[in-house]
């Protein structure tokens, strides 16, 4: 049976973003998520497919079949899927999107200054390879 996978596009050089990718991989016991860097060839292809910017990496994208979500909506949709208490965060979806995205963008614009960045995109370990496109 071919189960639907949700695709997460993330900033591959961002330490903060890579922390969250590791966090999700550790909790993805149902093997729901697949990952690719926004800067990768596959990431670029998906950004074009959904008419998203191919040079703005201040967000992450969640692709669910033919729909996509960005910024705070993507983060809350992911939280809703996680095991444990994480779905409780979805209550914040009631906050107007401009307010949520303003807060999201504050972190995104300063993530390199606060958390640093790598010189190149992450390379998945052999154990993680099946999780990456």
- What's residue 23's pLDDT? 92
Average pLDDT score over residue span 52-81: 92
Distance CA 53, CA 46 (A): 10
Instruction: Assess if residue 124 is contained within a domain.
Output: no
Instruction: Assess if residue 127 is contained within a domain.
Output: no
Instruction: Assess if residue 132 is contained within a domain.
Output: no
- What's residue 36's pLDDT? 94
Instruction: Assess if residue 105 is contained within a domain.
Output: yes
Q: How many domains does the structure of the chain reveal? A: 1
Instruction: Assess if residue 33 is contained within a domain.
Output: yes
- Quick: pLDDT tens for 92-109: 999 999 999 999 999 999
DSSP readout, 107-121?
HHHHHHHHH-B-SS-
Range of the domain at 99: 6-119
Q: Kindly tell me the burial class for residue 75, based on how many C-beta atoms sit within 10 Å of its own C-beta (0-12, 13-18, 19 or more).
A: buried
């Amino acid at each position: 049976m071919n189960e639907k996978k949700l695709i997460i596009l993330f900033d591959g050089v961002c330490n903060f973003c890579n922390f969250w990718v590791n966090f999700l991989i550790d909790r993805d016991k149902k093997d729901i998520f697949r990952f690719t860097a926004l800067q990768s060839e596959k990431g670029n292809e998906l950004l074009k497919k959904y008419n998203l910017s191919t040079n703005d990496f201040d967000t992450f994208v969640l692709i669910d079949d033919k729909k996509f979500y960005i910024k705070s909506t993507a983060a809350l949709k992911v939280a809703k899927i996680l095991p444990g208490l994480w779905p409780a965060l979805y209550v914040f979806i009631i906050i107007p999107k401009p307010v949520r995205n303003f807060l999201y963008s504050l972190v995104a614009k300063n993530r390199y200054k606060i958390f640093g960045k790598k010189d190149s995109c992450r390379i998945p370990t052999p154990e993680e390879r099946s999780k990456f496109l």
